[in-house]
Amino acid sequence: TEHLSISKASNGPADGVVNWVEHLGDQNHLHVTVGSRKLVTLTDPDTQLEKGDRVIIRYRAPLFFDQAGNRIAN
């Protein structure tokens, strides 16, 4: 969650579509379809995203690991 940046797409390509925003008090679960896969992540309680919104998803300081589970420095 802390390594993703999700914003509403304006006029152009999008990475996914919001299926629904599940409001859970101090946080929201954001359910997004990306291609044929489903993504569930946390989002701010005051998010402006809504069902049907096309979104852009970007990595923010991602962590990488090898097959043995060791972190790869980037």
List, for residues 17-69, the tens digit of each pLDDT value: 999 999 888 888 999 999 999 999 998 888 899 999 999 999 888 889 999 99
Q: What is the structure's pLDDT at 4?
A: 87
Number of domains in the chain: 1
Mean pLDDT of 9-24: 92
Classify residue 71: in a domain, yes or no.
Answer: no
* Model confidence at 74: pLDDT above 80: no
Q: Which structural domain, as residue segments, surrounds residue 56?
A: 4-60
Distance in angstroms (rounded) separating the CA atoms of residues 50 and 1: 18
Q: Classify residue 46: in a domain, yes or no.
A: yes
pTM: 0.79
Question: CATH no. for residue 24?
Answer: 2.40.50.140
Cross-strand partners of 54: 17
35 assigned to some structural domain: yes
Please indicate, yes or no, if residue 11 is contained in any of the structural domains: yes
In a domain, 43, yes or no: yes
Residue 66: inside a domain, yes or no?
no
Question: Does pLDDT of 70 surpass 80?
Answer: yes
